[in-house]
Structure 1
Amino acid sequence: MSDIEKVDEMLTKAEVFYLATVNENKPKVRPLGFHLLYEDKIYFGVGTFKEVYKQLEANQFTEIAAWDGEHFLRYYGEAVLEKNEDVVEKAFELMPEIAETYKANNWEMGVFYLDKATAEIRNMMAVEETYTFEY
């Protein structure tokens, strides 16, 4: 299993994870659940009309934290916002209720992955594994 697959597996096991952004020099954290391993990158999706997307446009530095029941994941780097219709379509296939809502309201799903990123798998006291990703 590759390093990025290990990170993806941990996010899957956690089910809900938390994305941290910066809003006018103040932290902002929200729960997310969607992620997709596609072409060796983990993509995340948020509405382009949401504050979280605007925050990522203004400051690309972000961090994702998750707990899978055994370990913590800290995955941080620079969000690369990308127009990728293949990823959006796959997201909508996985989440048809979200697709319906977005299409009914003419909303756009924005997708991003982390570049210049580090993933740390930790126990309560120490880092057990560290991976870096640059694309």
Structure 2
Amino acid sequence: MSNIEKVYEILEKAETFYLATVDGDKPKVRPLGGRVFHDDKIWFTIGTYKDVYKQLEVNPNAEIAAWDGEHFLRYYGEAVLEKNEEVIAKAFEAMPEIKAVYEENNLEMGVFYLDNATAEIRNMMAIEESFEFKY
């Protein structure tokens, strides 16, 4: 299993994870669940109409935090917002209820991955593994 697959596995086990962004000079954190593994990257899904998407356009620094019942994950770096129809199709396939909402309301799904990123797999006291990802 590759290092990025280890990170994805924790996100899969956790189901819900938390995305922190910067809004002006204040942190903003929200729960998310949308993720897709594609081309050896973890892609995260967010609506382009949401404040979180706009925050990432202004300041791409972001952090994901998750707990899978055994390990904490801190995964942080620079969000790369990219129009990727393949990833969006995979996301909608995995979440048909979300696809219906987006289609009914004429909304656009956005996706991003973290570049120049670090993933730390931690226990309560220390970092167990740390990985760097540059694309």
TM-score between both structures, scaled by the size of structure 1? 0.99
Q: 1:1-35 deviations in whole A, cap 9, x for unaligned?
A: 00000000000001100000001110000000111
Unaligned runs of 5+ in 2: none
Name the structure 2 match of 1:104: 104
Cα distance in 2, alignment partners of residues 133 and 118 from structure 1: 6
3-state DSSP class of the match of 1:90?
helix
- Deviation of residue 48 (structure 1)? 0.2
Name the structure 2 match of 1:12: 12
Name the structure 2 match of 1:78: 78
Is structure 2 residue 124 aligned with structure 1 residue 124?
yes
Q: 1:39-66 deviations in whole A, cap 9, x for unaligned?
A: 0000000000000000000000000000
**Percent identity for Structure 1 against Structure 2:** 71
In structure 1, give the amino acid aligned to 2:45: G
In structure 1, give the amino acid aligned to 2:94: L
3-state DSSP class of the match of 1:98?
helix
Q: CA RMSD in A?
A: 0.4
Name the structure 2 match of 1:50: 50
3-state DSSP class of the match of 1:99?
helix
Instruction: Tell me the matched-pair count.
Output: 135
Name the structure 2 match of 1:25: 25
- Deviation of residue 117 (structure 1)? 0.3
Cα distance in 2, alignment partners of residues 93 and 67 from structure 1: 25
Q: 1:100-130 deviations in whole A, cap 9, x for unaligned?
A: 0001111000000000000000000100000
| Regions of 4+ moved over 6 Å | none
TM-score between both structures, scaled by the size of structure 2? 0.99
Unaligned runs of 5+ in 1: none
3-state DSSP class of the match of 1:106?
coil
3-state DSSP class of the match of 1:92?
helix
3-state DSSP class of the match of 2:46?
strand
Cα distance in 2, alignment partners of residues 40 and 111 from structure 1: 15
